[in-house]
Structure 1
Amino acid sequence: MSLNGKIAVVTGAGSGMGLATVRAFIREGATVYALDISQDNLDRELGSEQAVTTIALDIADSTAINEAFARIATEHGKLDALINAAGVNTPNRRATEWLDSINHTMMDHMKRGEAFAPEFLTDIPDEDFDRVMRINVHGTFFTIRAAAPLLKAAGGGAIVNFASVAGLVALPMPAYYPASKAAVVGMTRAVAGELAPFNIRVNALAPAGIHTALLTQSGDEHVQALLSMQPLKRLAEPEEIAETLVFLASDAGAHYTGQILSPSAGAYLAG
Structure 2
Amino acid sequence: MTLEGKVAFITGAASGIGLATAKAFADAGARVVGADMSDEALSREFSAIPGSLAIALDVTSSAAVNDAFGKLDAEFGRLDVVINAAGINAPSKAANDKLVDTNVQAFRAARDGEEFFPDFLGDITDDDFRRVLEVNLFGPFYVMRAAAPLLKRTGGGAIVNVSSSAALLGVPMPLYYPASKAGVLGMTRAAAAELAPFNITVNAIAPGAVDTPLFRQQPEEITGMLIGMQPIKRPATPEEIAATMVFLSSAAGAYYTGQTLSPSGGLHM
Which TM-score band applies after superposition, normalised by the shorter structure?
over 0.9
Mapped partners of 1:43, 1:189: distance in 2? 33
- Which residue of 2 is the match for residue 235 of structure 1? 235
- Any residues of structure 2 matched to 1:96-245 within 5 Å, and which? 96-245=96-245
Kept after mapping to 1: 8 A contact 2:23/2:49: no
- 1:24 is displaced (CA, Å) by 0.3
Kept after mapping to 2: 8 A contact 1:156/1:199: yes
1:98-122 deviation per Cα after TM superposition (whole angstroms, max 9, x unaligned): 1011011112212212122211111
- Which residue of 2 is the match for residue 26 of structure 1? 26
1:108-144 deviation per Cα after TM superposition (whole angstroms, max 9, x unaligned): 2122121222111111111111010000000000000
What is the TM-score when the length of structure 2 is the normalising length?
Answer: 0.98
Is 1:83 aligned with 2:75? no
- 1:38 is displaced (CA, Å) by 0.4
Letter in 2 for 1:35: A
Mapped partners of 2:102, 2:109: distance in 1? 11
Is 1:10 aligned with 2:10? yes
- 1:49 is displaced (CA, Å) by 2.3
- 1:93 is displaced (CA, Å) by 0.6
- 1:222 is displaced (CA, Å) by 0.4
- 1:48 is displaced (CA, Å) by 3.1
Mapped partners of 2:45, 2:78: distance in 1? 26
2:180 match: secondary structure: helix
Percent sequence identity is 53
Letter in 2 for 1:219: P
**Runs of 4+ with >6 A deviation:** none
- Which residue of 2 is the match for residue 52 of structure 1? 52
What is the TM-score when the length of structure 1 is the normalising length?
Answer: 0.97
- 1:215 is displaced (CA, Å) by 2.2
2:188 match: secondary structure: helix
Letter in 2 for 1:53: L
1:59 match: secondary structure: coil
- Which residue of 1 is the match for residue 253 of structure 2? 253
1:55 match: secondary structure: strand
Mapped partners of 1:8, 1:249: distance in 2? 9
- 1:162 is displaced (CA, Å) by 0.4
Kept after mapping to 1: 8 A contact 2:46/2:52: yes
Q: Is there any run of 5+ residues in structure 1 with no aligned partner, and where?
A: none
- Which residue of 1 is the match for residue 42 of structure 2? 42
Mapped partners of 1:8, 1:39: distance in 2? 19
Kept after mapping to 2: 8 A contact 1:10/1:84: yes
Kept after mapping to 2: 8 A contact 1:21/1:242: yes
Tell me the C-alpha RMSD between the 2 structures.
0.9
2:35 match: secondary structure: strand
Mapped partners of 1:146, 1:195: distance in 2? 13
40-49 or 168-177, which deviates more: 40-49
1:208-230 deviation per Cα after TM superposition (whole angstroms, max 9, x unaligned): 11111222322111011111211
Kept after mapping to 1: 8 A contact 2:18/2:86: yes
- 1:237 is displaced (CA, Å) by 0.2
Letter in 2 for 1:255: Y
Kept after mapping to 2: 8 A contact 1:77/1:153: no
Mapped partners of 2:41, 2:159: distance in 1? 24
2:231 match: secondary structure: coil
Mapped partners of 1:268, 1:50: distance in 2? 37
Q: Is there any run of 5+ residues in structure 2 with no aligned partner, and where?
A: none
Letter in 2 for 1:23: K
Letter in 1 for 2:213: A
Mapped partners of 1:213, 1:75: distance in 2? 31
Letter in 2 for 1:123: D
